[in-house]
């Protein structure tokens, strides 16, 4: 008996192939419903033709294609990538090495990979899809400011591979993808040369003061927070994401005796994409930068900030998500937005400046890599122009800790 929603129904292959018309369509075309022995469920497609003979041929070709797919171990129906994403995130949050790793991978997927794949079934993804993605990402309409570099594309494809490996393990697909990643670039990162760094640091103090005036738009707080953020990043080399998560409990100090001299070590405990580590600041001046932020919070709160409060925070204590716009304004005002190669400097330029200056001052690449949470190979690849300098000095020596400093050396009798 013909169903009301299947007009002019025609049945072939012992009922496994059905073509029919849908009612109430302005431009009716044949639809097909196909079932394959050994498979589960039906596949319903539009034949995109009004010709009955062509519609039957389309449906039977689809039946042959699906039957072969089942014989090779594939699935007739597979979930789309966008529907699998939430399931993947739930899994990855429990198994990833760090919250930062979760953020990196899921951001790549959500921002680029899934929009590119749209609602494509996971089974439809193949090696050529990867090549198509690279071409798609390099088109002007698919990037914001500049064409993505090879290292950026490599990072995105690596995140995609993590997702696909999970899909294979969970049985959503058995397709093996050949991941031909673009060659890794070794471009020098946009850091600050010493001339521009001096120019910037000399500019900061007056720029903060100007924030109290009408010319500065009453943005004293924002400028004070921003400038000390910049100075802390440049003296520690920590990543932007690591700085975003810093709380007061993550900072400590140690006194170190060198002969008759006592040296103050400033130490941060950070959690990033390579896990947790202790970071030793290159200068005890970092204490002063933190003191300015701490005193600002004491003034705003009328008491000491809590140990678990974010260091870089808004007035309500919530963490500041990004200093991107503020830094661009600062760099423009100071006349240091462009690096020597013409690239725009960003928050990551502080990390690269830290690495370059430490190497120029003789820090061993191995100790520097440990402090920065990266590999010696990455140091050599991106900062090789400085590694042939003197390597006699080490990042720090932590001997004879007979003396210890207070938890926060600038906080005295504030109860």
Q: Where are the domains of the chain?
A: 7-71, 81-169, 194-383
Q: What is 194-383's CATH superfamily?
A: Intergrase catalytic core (1.10.443.10)
The pLDDT, as a whole number, for residue 239 is 93
For the CA atoms of 46, 48, 49, 50, the dihedral, rounded to the nearest 10 degrees, stands at 60
Structure tokens at 392: 């006699």
The pLDDT, as a whole number, for residue 390 is 39
The pLDDT, as a whole number, for residue 187 is 56
Alpha-carbon distance values, 391 to 39, 231, 378 (Å): 65, 25, 17
Give one word for 229, left, alpha or beta, with left for phi > 0 and alpha for psi -120 to 50. alpha
The pLDDT, as a whole number, for residue 343 is 85
Among residues 182, 103, 204, 196, the alpha carbon closest in space to that of 137 is found at 182
The pLDDT, as a whole number, for residue 414 is 43
DSSP-assigned letter for residue 46: E
pLDDT confidence band for 318 (50 / 70 / 90): very high
Structure tokens at 311: 């260091």
The pLDDT, as a whole number, for residue 208 is 95
The 3-state DSSP class for residue 342 equals: coil
The pLDDT, as a whole number, for residue 394 is 44
Would you say residue 412 has pLDDT above 60?
A: no
Distance CA 156, CA 116 (A): 12
The pLDDT, as a whole number, for residue 402 is 47
Distance CA 311, CA 294 (A): 8
What is the share, in percent, of the chain residues with pLDDT greater than 90? 51
Region 207-223: mean pLDDT is 91
Which run of H or E residues covers position 251? strand 251-258
Would you say residue 275 has pLDDT above 80?
A: no
Please indicate whether residue 295 or residue 171 has the higher confidence score (pLDDT).
295
The pLDDT, as a whole number, for residue 161 is 93
Contacts of 108 (CB under 8 A, 6+ apart): 155, 156, 159, 160
Please indicate whether residue 12 or residue 24 has the higher confidence score (pLDDT).
12
CA 284 to chain centroid: 30
The pLDDT, as a whole number, for residue 408 is 67
Please indicate whether residue 342 or residue 387 has the higher confidence score (pLDDT).
342
Give one word for 302, left, alpha or beta, with left for phi > 0 and alpha for psi -120 to 50. left
pLDDT confidence band for 29 (50 / 70 / 90): very high
Which of 31-35, 123-127, 391-395 is the most confident on average?
31-35
pLDDT confidence band for 410 (50 / 70 / 90): low
Q: What is the pTM of this model?
A: 0.58
Residues recorded for the chain? 415
What is the share, in percent, of the chain residues with pLDDT greater than 70? 87
Mean pLDDT lowest for which of 65-69, 101-105, 225-229, 298-302? 65-69
Q: 205 with 328: CB under 8 angstroms?
A: no
Region 156-182: mean pLDDT is 86
Would you say residue 220 has pLDDT above 70?
A: yes
Q: State the chain's mean pLDDT as an integer.
A: 85
The pLDDT, as a whole number, for residue 405 is 53
The pLDDT, as a whole number, for residue 413 is 42
Please indicate whether residue 342 or residue 219 has the higher confidence score (pLDDT).
219
The pLDDT, as a whole number, for residue 372 is 93
Would you say residue 119 has pLDDT above 70?
A: yes
pLDDT in tens, 396-409: 444 454 444 556 65
The pLDDT, as a whole number, for residue 55 is 95
pLDDT in tens, 352-396: 999 999 998 889 999 999 999 988 888 887 776 554 443 444 444
Distance CA 208, CA 217 (A): 11
pLDDT in tens, 38-94: 766 678 888 989 999 999 999 999 888 888 777 766 665 667 888 889 899 999 999
């Amino acid at each position: 008996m013909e169903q009301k929603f299947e007009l002019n129904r025609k049945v072939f292959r012992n009922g496994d192939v059905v073509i029919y018309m849908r009612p109430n369509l302005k431009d009716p075309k044949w639809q097909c419903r196909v079932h394959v022995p050994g498979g589960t469920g039906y596949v319903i497609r539009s034949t995109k033709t009004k010709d009955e003979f062509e519609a039957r041929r389309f449906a039977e070709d689809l039946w042959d294609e699906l039957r072969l797919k089942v014989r090779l171990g594939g699935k007739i129906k597979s979930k789309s990538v966008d529907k699998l994403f939430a399931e993947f995130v739930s899994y990855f949050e429990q198994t990833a090495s760090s919250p930062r790793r979760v953020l990196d991978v899921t951001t790549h997927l959500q921002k680029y990979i899934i929009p590119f794949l749209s609602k494509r079934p996971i089974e439809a993804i193949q090696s050529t899809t990867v090549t198509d993605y690279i071409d798609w990402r390099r088109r002007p309409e698919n990037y914001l400011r500049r064409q993505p570099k090879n290292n950026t594309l490599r990072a995105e494809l690596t995140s995609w591979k993590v997702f696909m490996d999970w899909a294979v393990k969970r049985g959503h697909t058995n397709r093996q993808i050949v991941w031909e990643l673009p060659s890794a670039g070794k471009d020098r990162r946009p850091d600050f040369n010493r001339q521009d760094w001096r120019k910037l640091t000399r500019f900061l103090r007056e720029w903060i003061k100007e924030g109290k005036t009408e010319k500065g738009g009453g943005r004293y707080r924002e400028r004070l927070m921003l400038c000390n953020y910049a100075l802390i990043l440049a003296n520690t080399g920590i990543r932007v994401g690591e700085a975003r998560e810093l709380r007061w409990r993550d900072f400590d100090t140690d006194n170190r005796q060198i002969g008759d001299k006592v040296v103050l070590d400033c130490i941060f405990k950070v959690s990033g994409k390579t896990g947790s580590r202790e970071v030793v600041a290159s200068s005890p001046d970092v204490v002063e930068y933190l003191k300015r932020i701490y005193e600002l919070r004491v003034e705003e709160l009328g008491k000491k900030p809590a140990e678990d409060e974010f260091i870089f925070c808004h007035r309500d204590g919530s963490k500041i998500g990004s200093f991107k716009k503020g830094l661009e304004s600062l760099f423009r005002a100071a006349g240091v937005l462009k690096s020597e190669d013409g690239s725009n400097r960003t928050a990551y330029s502080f990390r690269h400046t830290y690495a370059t200056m430490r190497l120029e001052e003789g820090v061993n690449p191995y100790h520097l890599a440990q402090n920065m949470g990266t590999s010696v190979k990455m140091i050599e690849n991106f900062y090789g122009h400085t590694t042939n300098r003197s390597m006699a000095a080490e990042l720090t020596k932590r001997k004879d800790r007979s003396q210890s400093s207070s938890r926060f050396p600038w906080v005295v009798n504030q109860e």
